[in-house]
Amino acid sequence: MTPRPISRRGALVLGGLGAASLVAGTTGLLAQNASTPGGLPAAGTTGEDLLEPPVLDSREGRLAIVLTAAPGARLAGRDNAALGYNGTSPGPTLRVRPGDDLAVRLTNRLDQPTNLHTHDLQVSPQGNSDNPFLRIDPGTSFDYLYRIPPDHPAGTFWYHPHHHGTVADQLFGGLAGALLVDRGPELPVAADRVLLITDTTLDADGRIVVAGPMDRMMGRQGRLVLVNGQHQPTIAASTGTVQRWRIINGCTSRVLPLRLPGQQLTQIMLDAAFLPGPAGPGRIVLAPGNRADILIRPDRAGRFELLTDAYDRGSTGTGGMMGGRDATSEPATLATLSVDGPPRQPPPLPASLPARTPNTDPVTARREITFAMGMGGSGMGFTIDGRTFDPQRDDQTVQLGSTEEWTITNASPLAHPFHLHIWPFTVLADSAGTPPTGTPQGVVLVPPRGWVRLRIPFTAHPGRSVYHCHILDHEDLGMMATINVRG
């Protein structure tokens, strides 16, 4: 099939609902401000045991599945609240191995276009692989085939829709799932859990609230922060054991600074890369799209809350049309760790981790990329290098095999998480002085009025793809651009 270009969406017109009305048709939603109090928390189900989505495992080098995107999934204890894959939100966890083929027949039972993105998977961006330009119309199916290279890194990935203009609504609506590339046992753990974190807002009838124009401009943040679709579930553990939690920030816009007071959170991976050594007790801050694999090693019984702290993504300042909005998230309890057993020391942390050797190829080109927001002819524009997304245009052309240094400048007063598909990068430095991990990652926060400098090896996978702001409202409003890696 020839990929069909998707329609160009320009700047947000203040006062217009845009794609919101499409989602309203899908799930019978009310148009109101998603961040405004008024919805009811899902109190009836808070605290139940953590559920993990069903795992679909590859066999003999192949995982072939059907994924049906449709309304009617349970979320936050409410039946029929959400959009789901195969009836659940999150969708099934897909587990594959390096060298596998992942074949997905995506069936669209929504009433708007969708598609599928395998976030950070290092596969071809072309044809029916991880191609963000595809458009799967309502009532149709599409056969994806992802050929995972034999040297693909193991780690925690995720999948979600990526059809420009409807991404934020569909993710906020519940469409996301975990995708694990598993090389086999790397660490001795008693439990290996997926914690896919999303946020949403439900109205009094348990339906997902549509985001208004101001929510979209600031990046919507739901009133409920959910783990695997549950509100504040309980995670059981025994003293003297180690658990691995694969925490995925699947929120549309929310940044997650994570803490577990009373217990140590030891980070071993960022995105799909092992850190040089176990990191802790430093602060773990996940931008939308980031993942952290962490170890918890309880030595005494008790109940401990996994928290996300408040996070300030910046402010639009005072006065003017924007009226000085700020994009601070409220702190929230994500889950409760419930530990049983007599006091007992867990096995020690591994002395080292199987981190990959960093790429040291000479830099062959340098580029400057600027994220900005400002008033244009038709409203608030979210731009990269002064332009909104045009799928027909090549914004960057890169030679396959080159290693480049990109400086991403943020000319706006809000933080924007930069995400490049297919080709992971290492952060060299940022304007906030954040110590770099030295490991490859897929999303990095660009501080308000700041910058980050990245090193990007384009060593494989020729083809066209995209880079964009992972505040998905901003991406839908045009903060996305194309890259063509030519072989």
Helix, strand or coil, per DSSP, at residue 285: strand
Rounded to an integer, what distance in angstroms lies between the CA atom of residue 197 and that of residue 365?
Answer: 37
Binding segment for Cu ion (CB under 5 A), chosen from 47-55, 66-74, 278-286, 466-474, is 466-474
Whichever of 416 and 464 has its CB closer to Cu ion, that residue is: 416
Minimum Å gap between C-beta 416 and Cu ion is: 3
Minimum Å gap between C-beta 415 and Cu ion is: 8
Residue 179 to residues 57, 58, 107, 158, Cα–Cα distance (Å) = 10, 11, 18, 5
Task: Answer yes or no whether residue 474 interacts with Cu ion by CB under 5 A.
Answer: yes
Strands (E) in 297-364, as ranges, are 302-308, 311-315, 326-329, 332-340
Whichever of 50 and 469 has its CB closer to Cu ion, that residue is: 469
Whichever of 416 and 419 has its CB closer to Cu ion, that residue is: 416
Minimum Å gap between C-beta 61 and Cu ion is: 39
Rounded to an integer, what distance in angstroms lies between the CA atom of residue 357 and that of residue 364?
Answer: 20
Minimum Å gap between C-beta 112 and Cu ion is: 22
Minimum Å gap between C-beta 343 and Cu ion is: 46
Task: Determine which helix (DSSP H) or strand (DSSP E) holds 21, and give its type and residue range.
Answer: helix 20-27
Minimum Å gap between C-beta 11 and Cu ion is: 14
Task: Answer yes or no whether residue 231 interacts with Cu ion by CB under 5 A.
Answer: no
Binding segment for Cu ion (CB under 5 A), chosen from 259-267, 268-276, 314-322, 465-473, is 465-473
Instruction: Give me 192's structure tokens.
Output: 């290996």
Closest CA to 125 of 430, 458, 480: 458
Residue 436 to residues 425, 426, 453, 458, Cα–Cα distance (Å) = 12, 8, 10, 20
Task: Answer yes or no whether residue 471 interacts with Cu ion by CB under 5 A.
Answer: yes
Print the binding letters for residues 155-174 with Cu ion: x by CB under 5 A, - otherwise.
--------------------
Whichever of 34 and 227 has its CB closer to Cu ion, that residue is: 34
Binding segment for Cu ion (CB under 5 A), chosen from 102-110, 224-232, 294-302, 462-470, is 462-470
- Burial pattern 28-41, b for ≥16 Cβ within 10 A else e, equals ebeebbbbeeebee
Minimum Å gap between C-beta 418 and Cu ion is: 9
Task: Answer yes or no whether residue 419 interacts with Cu ion by CB under 5 A.
Answer: no
Whichever of 107 and 221 has its CB closer to Cu ion, that residue is: 221
End-to-end CA distance of the chain: 22
Give the position of tokens 């090193």.
455
Task: Answer yes or no whether residue 220 interacts with Cu ion by CB under 5 A.
Answer: no
Task: Answer yes or no whether residue 416 interacts with Cu ion by CB under 5 A.
Answer: yes
Binding segment for Cu ion (CB under 5 A), chosen from 116-124, 245-253, 259-267, 409-417, is 409-417
Contact 268, 275 (CB under 8 A): yes
Task: Answer yes or no whether residue 469 interacts with Cu ion by CB under 5 A.
Answer: yes
Rounded to an integer, what distance in angstroms lies between the CA atom of residue 382 and that of residue 11?
Answer: 7
Size of the site for Cu ion (CB under 5 A): 4
Contact 413, 317 (CB under 8 A): yes
Q: Which residues of this protein are in contact with Cu ion, per CB under 5 A?
A: 416, 469, 471, 474
